[in-house]
Each structure stands twice: as C-alpha cells, then as structure tokens.
Structure 1
Amino acid sequence: MSGGAHGQVDPAFQQVREVFEAHLEIGAAVAVFQAGRPVVDLWGGVADSRTGRPWERDTAVVTYSCAKAVTTAAALDVAHRHGVGWDEPVTTWWPEFGAAGKSATTLADLLTHRAGLPAFDRPVSAAKAADPVAMAALLAEQTPVWEPGTRHGYHALTFGWLVAEFVRRHTNSTIGEYVARHFGAELRFGAAPDMARVESPPAEQRRWTDPGPIGADTVARMARAYRDPGSLALRASTNPFGSYNKPEVVAGGWPATGLITTARGLARFYSDLVGGAILPPGLLTAAIGEQVRGTDAVLLLESAFGLGFVLPSENMILPAAARPTAFGHPGAGGALGLGDIDHHLAIAFAPNLRRDWLAGDRRAHDLVTAVYDAL
C-alpha cells in the first residue's frame, strides 16, 4: 500500500474509500457519480515510483481499452447526427473497404467485433500507427480471418482504427479531436501533462493463479494462446507494439487503447452518457442491448457486446448486483469505466500498476462491489 487517499467521499460511500486504500498499490484514482453528482473522487500513491512524484488530483493515466467506450460513443453520436444506420454497409461511406470479401460488413459488425479483422496481417510500427489514414488503408485492403458478421472476436487494437474511420470520414476529425470538441478536454487521445508512468508487478505476481469464475479449461486454452506467437490473441494485442511510457506511442492517440484521462474524467463521461448529455436515451438503450455473447474467437473466453460497449461476462467480471444493468469497458491492467442507467450511476478506476484478473487482481471488482453496496 502506498499511503492513504486524498479527495472527497460522500458519507454514504465511505466503504469505497476503505476499499480503495486497502488496494492502493503504486498509484491510482477512483471516481463515482450518482444522478450526475460526484460522490467519490479519490486519488493516492505515486505517479512515478522512480522519482516518487505523487499522484495529484489531476494526474492522468492511460486507461487502455477503456478508450473503446469513448470511441464508440463518438461513432454513435456521429451516426445519430448524420442519420447513418448501423446496419448499413460500411462501403456506403468507405468504398475501399469492400475489398477481399468485406462488402457486406456493417457498422454494427465493426462495433461488435464481428468484422473478422482482429489483427493486422503484417508488422505495423508505432510511427505508422500515428497515421489514421494509413492504418485504415491497411485494414481496407486486408482479407478477413472469418466471414464478417458470422463470429465475434475481440479486435483489441484494430477496433479503434475501424470505428475511428467512420468518425473521420463523416467529420474530417480524428477521434481525439472529436472527443475533445464534443465530450470534454479531459478525455485525451494524446499526451497529458505530468501523466502517470505505467508500471508492472514482478514476474512472479503476473502468473495466472486465480481464475475465479473462469473455468480451468478456458484458462488453459488462453495460456496456450498467449504462448503462441501465431495465435490471434497475441497478434491482436501486440501489433503494433509499444509501451505507453514511450512518447511516440502516447502521441499517436491510438483510438482503441490511447485514452489518457483521470478517473474523474472517465466517470464524468459515463455520467454524461447515462444522463443523456452525450447520446439520446433511446440510442444509448439500443447500444447497450446485447448484440453478441459466447466464446470469443480471439480471447477464447466468454465475451458479450452491445454496440461497442462490453456487457457483464468473463471478459468483464462484475459483482452480482451490477450484472443486470451495468455496461462499460475494462482496460488492460485493471482500469475500468462503468455506467448504469437504472441506478443513474457512473464509476471509473484508473491505476498505473498493471495487474491481471487471472493473477488475482480484484481492485476494480471490489470497488464496484462497495459502490453498489452503498446504494
């Protein structure tokens, strides 16, 4: 534990502070909004253990795939503003995408990880990944791994450039530009001042030892896949490769993984989302309706998606109280953004120490439990 927490907590949510402090390693922040009102805003620890620089109120950190929810909301907002249906073929707005048997692919296929393009078929550098036009061109010419629309498999990195291309072609804006203009400057796709340095635990703490509700057979399949350089699981998550401690990766604004923000900023996004300030309520309700569920062709565990948002499943394990109504997106290493329309609730957890659920990480899970216990 790296010292106590700073910030404010509504007395009804005091247990959240206790859980946060009990789990505080290196540095982190947690924020909760209920009915649009901030009820938890906590931070603590250090932003960089090399220098001892403290985690301050406005310290931002990369939240990895929590970015996908923000990119999704941007695409849904653009679709609403421009009257584009998500079941229309992608080729109506991106003609080049029809190459190599992809002509029937829809925006819904892109949002639900059914496009069949979970990994690039050639090495991609961090420098090239900073060029959204070039990245979209690579995906447009690529042959899908499966017939689009017939399976779902997590597009860990490619999701961002596929969905961001919809935004770019309708607005001439990158995801970072569109989000800053419409959702707020605290949600950055690019460098943030004095952002936290990402850190990893010792090797012995990264072993998969505690699968919890995920079956042993599934864990064994996943372990084999992550040892196989040719597996979709590894290829989807490591190409392009780059550390978010590297300036060229941070500056690239990767739209699937490059959201750099505070927990407060991410929770405020979900608060605005569930409150109807970002999308019309009917559109959000449709977007969080289950589109696909089952064994993920890439992750090899159960995943479930609405239109871009992750639903409770083995890919986003939530306490029982949250499962019927919560939606959101986890990020690699333990980050989480969550919304709940029925409870008028928004939660975000943003750490700089990367841990894994299968190695015993329960920080976000326990914080969500404490929040629901307080309702």
Structure 2
Amino acid sequence: MTVVHGQCDPRFSRVREVFGRHFAEGEELGAAFTVFLDGEPVVDLWGGVADRHSGRPWERGTPALTYSCTKAVTATAALLLAERGLLDVTAPVADVWPEFARHGKERITVEHLFTHQAGLPTIETPVPPEEFEDQAAIADRLAGQAPIWEPGTAHGYHALTYGFLLGEVIRRVSGKSPGEFVAAEIAEPLGLELWFGAPEEVAARAARLSAGRRQGPAEAGAAPAGAAADAVPRVSAAAELPGRGNPVEEMSRAVLDRDSLMNRALGNPPIHRLQGGANHPVILRSGWPAIGVVATARGLAGFYRDLVAGRILRPETLEDALRRRVTGPDRVLIIDSSFGLGYMRPALTFLTPSKGAETAFGHTGLGGFLGLGDVEHGLGMGYTMNKMADAVSGSLRAYRLAEAVYGSI
C-alpha cells in the first residue's frame, strides 16, 4: 500500500482521503497535490514512485513536465509585458513581428493568439527533431502559413502552436525567450519551483511519465511518446459524465481519426520520434511555451497563489484577463471550451466544482495535470503526477481533488 507523505490541515482531511484513495484504487503511480488558501499552505501531499522502472520514490521536491499547464504561465508573461506598456494586446501581431503579416494574417491580433482564434492550430510542414530546440524557426513556419479559418470568427485549441506564436511575440518584445523571461521576472524573484525548460539537475530528478492504456491514434504519440494537448484527457473525462450528448461522441471519433484537425494539432512537432517521448532531455530542456514548464506541485500551486495575491500581475490586469473572450464549441476539440486571455475558464474542457464555476481559472495539462487559481476563494492549487490518463476514458483525479478542496472551505 502506497504511503501518502506530507501535511494536510485538519479542515482538508477529505482531500487527503481522496488523494490516498487514488493510490489505493490503482489510479496513480506517483503524484503530488498542493493547495494554498489565502496564501497559507493547507495541503502539501505526495506519494508513490517517480519512475516505475527504477522504483525511485516521489519526493516532496519531485518536479514533472506539466504539459499545457504551461500555457497559463506563458500568458502571464505576455500580460506582464502588456501591463508594463510594452505590448498592446489589441494590436496586430505584425506590429511586433513584421514577418507574420503574410497570407491573410495581417489583422490577427495578439488577443487572437491568447484566445485560440488565430486559425493556426496546426503546423502544416513536418518539424524535424533537429529543429525542436529552435523555437524561432518553428515560429517562422507558422508565419509562412495561411489561417485555416477567418481569424476572430471562431476559436479552436492551438495545442502546440499557441506557445510558438505567443512565445515569439514575447521574444520580439522583451528580447528574451519565454523561459528566460519567466525565470527572471516570475519564478526566480518569487522562489517558485517552476522551470520553463529544465536545467540538467532538475531534469535528472523529474518524474518519468508513464502512459496509461491508450485507445486509438490520437494517443499513438501521447506521453510519454508525446501528444501535446492537455484538453484531450480533460475533455474525455467529461465523457464519463452522463448527459453530455453528441459533441462528446464526435470528439471521441476525432480522437480515433488520424487526419482529424485535433490529431493534426497534437502531432507536430512529433515528440514521439524521440526515444522516451516527453521524457527525452530535449523536451525537458527546450521550454516549449505551450507545454514546457517543469514544476513541482508546490511550484505550480505557488504560481497561482502569487497570481491571486497580486504579486505577479496587478489585480485589475488579472481581472480583465479572466473575462471570458470565447465560450462555446471548439473547432479543434469540438466540445465547449472557454478562455480569457490565455487562461481556461470553467467549461467541459476545464471541469470545475460548482462552487468555482464562475470564479476558477487556470489550465490543465495532458494526462491530468492541473493548475488552478480562484481569487474570490483565495485558492491556488497544483496537481502533478506521472500516470497519464487514457485519452478516451479520461481521468477525474484532478476534478475529485478540486471538489474535495472546494467542499472543505
């Protein structure tokens, strides 16, 4: 039986029960969950193994590649530039990236990038592995493409391209890569265990991601082999819920269709071409701005703690960023998604307990990772693990933990 380590405020004993039950029922290999309430740590739990092959235990400081939880960090970096008057969110991307103004993209705004409305969810030319660490080169591929739909008329999850697009904007404005900017302006000043591209020492002790049972081609390259959208397992978790109707069935069909827009969005750059997929050192150190953050649960939760407390962005900046810009059917994920400026808002792709249905924000990560903040309730949460959820059957682990938290306050 797996021993659960760490501390839990007595008020949150239900959280510890849920966390332990996931291990007892075989849903976890290794995992950690941290919660801050009004800036104070009330849950800090971990257990299991960080590497199922070696048996290396999951420790308090075990980091993990958090996949698309990264998108919220990238969004925050861009918002910080906007807050400083260095970036106009409503202006065309081409104002800071002139080469982008080709093939009908002249009027795409930075806000379109934040909200997945740019019509560029796929990279149409194969990205070779030798280019994986050259984010500017990948961004240039996108600059040479035409949008799939008229920008601003629909939204569709830009699973990987979100990061290369918004990351290039950050680089053009700040002169630093997104990882360098986040380290200098957010992670290091606040002492967060969060790395946008892991140093060698951090990568060496990172949890090794293990794939669960997979069904169909959508996850043929999934972690640890490398599909990159957080929303597939979170969306498919909704398939476990009754009464969702045809959109979930359509989404499930898209998962199984190699040529679907969903799979095209997830599969390039093809992480599965690297030995070990997302566990490969190239992925851990590259710091892709859509999926590259390596963090402990405490570091991820601390990021949201500091956002909620106004230590990263001014409260009015965050409030505006949380205003829902798009809500409804997602052109890539098919079922409903909802976004502010880069942050997920509660929807089928971001399942949230009813108490947080209007106040929670954050981002999920492939396989079940979760970063969540809630200003009204003073919450910051981070959930990391290494047993990746199945893309079709999904996982409700993060939802159950969040439900236990909200039920305890």
Shared fold (TM-score, shorter chain, > 0.5): yes
Question: 2: CA distance between counterparts of 1:214 and 1:357?
Answer: 19
Whichever residue aligns with residue 371 of structure 2, its letter is: G
Residues 277-316 of structure 1 mapped to structure 2, 5 A cutoff:
277-316=311-350
Which residue is equivalent to 2:181? 178
Which residue is equivalent to 2:144? 141
Residues 41-190 of structure 1 mapped to structure 2, 5 A cutoff:
41-185=44-188, 186-190=193-197
Match status 1:346 vs 2:380:
yes
Question: 1: CA distance between counterparts of 2:160 and 2:130?
Answer: 15
Instruction: Give the C-alpha shift of residue 227 in structure 1.
Output: 2.3
Question: 2: CA distance between counterparts of 1:291 and 1:98?
Answer: 23
Match of 1:234 among 259, 263, 279: 263
Q: Secondary structure at the match of 1:47?
A: coil
Which stretch of structure 1 is more off in the superposition, 242-251 or 363-372?
A: 242-251
Instruction: Give the C-alpha shift of residue 337 in structure 1.
Output: 0.4
Which stretch of structure 1 is more off in the superposition, 74-83 or 197-206?
A: 197-206
Instruction: Give the C-alpha shift of residue 84 in structure 1.
Output: 2.5
Question: 2: CA distance between counterparts of 1:84 and 1:171?
Answer: 9
State the 4+ residue runs in structure 1 displaced beyond 6 angstroms: 204-209
Give unmatched runs, 5+ long, in structure 2: 220-232, 272-276
- Structure 1 contact 68–256 (Cα < 8 Å) conserved: yes
Match of 2:280 among 228, 246, 252: 246
Which residue is equivalent to 1:223? 252
Instruction: Give the C-alpha shift of residue 214 in structure 1.
Output: 6.5
Question: 2: CA distance between counterparts of 1:214 and 1:237?
Answer: 27
- Structure 2 contact 212–390 (Cα < 8 Å) conserved: no
Instruction: Give the C-alpha shift of residue 356 in structure 1.
Output: 4.2
Whichever residue aligns with residue 318 of structure 1, its letter is: T
Which residue is equivalent to 1:202? 213
Q: When the two structures are aligned, how many residues end up with a matched partner?
A: 374
Question: 1: CA distance between counterparts of 2:13 and 2:185?
Answer: 33
Q: Tell me how large the CA RMSD over aligned residues is.
A: 1.8
- Structure 1 contact 63–332 (Cα < 8 Å) conserved: yes
Which residue is equivalent to 1:333? 367
Question: 2: CA distance between counterparts of 1:140 and 1:158?
Answer: 11
- Structure 1 contact 127–248 (Cα < 8 Å) conserved: no
Instruction: Give the C-alpha shift of residue 82 in structure 1.
Output: 3.1
Whichever residue aligns with residue 159 of structure 1, its letter is: Y
Give unmatched runs, 5+ long, in structure 1: none
* Shift in alpha-carbon separation, 1:298–1:40, aligned structure 2, 3 A: same
- 1:17-64 per-residue CA deviation (whole Å, 9 max, x = no partner) reads 111111131000000011111111111100001010000110001111
Instruction: Give the C-alpha shift of residue 15 in structure 1.
Output: 1.2
Which residue is equivalent to 1:18? 17
Which stretch of structure 1 is more off in the superposition, 97-106 or 212-221?
A: 212-221
Question: 2: CA distance between counterparts of 1:330 and 1:54?
Answer: 24
Whichever residue aligns with residue 327 of structure 2, its letter is: R
Whichever residue aligns with residue 321 of structure 1, its letter is: K
- Structure 2 contact 87–173 (Cα < 8 Å) conserved: no
* Shift in alpha-carbon separation, 1:88–1:245, aligned structure 2, 3 A: same
Which stretch of structure 1 is more off in the superposition, 175-184 or 279-288?
A: 175-184
- Structure 1 contact 64–256 (Cα < 8 Å) conserved: yes
Which stretch of structure 1 is more off in the superposition, 94-103 or 213-222?
A: 213-222
